Amino acid sequence: MRSKIFLASILLTPILVVTFSTLYFNMGMSPEGTKNNGIFFKSYFNFNQFKDSRGNQDLIEFEDGKWVLSVYVTDIEKSSESIYLMRQLNVALNRDINKLKRVVFYSNKLLENDLKVIQLEYPRQVLIEDKNGVLLNVLQRNSKMNFSVENPIFVIDPYGRAVMYFNMDTDPKLILKDLKVLI
């Protein structure tokens, strides 16, 4: 008899936990807010929907399983701080440095020469041209910030989904804290 009660308690415990936690959550007693310092995009969008200038290949590849720290450059002067901060964050990750890659997106062909100079200054950074500016429009539509004016840093997960972006006035230590949790 004791073993039947013990067996019943083992089998019923997970069912009771799931049932009560679901009721607790549905009654409005869920956690509020997040612990993230970044801002989540308004809606989910996947980077696999964006194609290169020829339209036959993905704009960015995600086969390597790395997180992507990126900036969409519309103005060199405004984005230079974000590009520098990306490098500093990457270096500050220490042993996790190889779990992250840095990408700079741009659509203005006139910025290409300036970006190549920046790429020489900050190596291990990939430049990707968004030929028609479609990515910029999607980023703009899914955020509360004007991406063409602010040039903030945003994060893409290893599966190609845009996760969050950071205001320009966010403390770099808080951004690093988020990156360590994500990676």
Q: What is the pTM of this model?
A: 0.76
The beta-carbon contacts of 93-100 under 8 Å, at least 24 apart in sequence, are 93/176, 93/179, 93/180, 93/183, 96/180, 96/183, 98/66, 99/66, 99/67, 99/183, 100/66, 100/67, 100/68, 100/69, 100/179, 100/183
CATH architecture of 39-182: 3-Layer(aba) Sandwich (3.40)
Cβ(59)–Cβ(47) under 8 Å? yes
Summarised one tens digit per residue, pLDDT across range 15-31 is: 999 998 888 878 877 66
Using DSSP's 3-state secondary structure scheme, residue 155 falls into strand
Summarised one tens digit per residue, pLDDT across range 140-180 is: 999 988 888 888 999 998 988 888 999 888 889 999 888 88
Q: Tell me: pLDDT of 56 over 70.
A: no
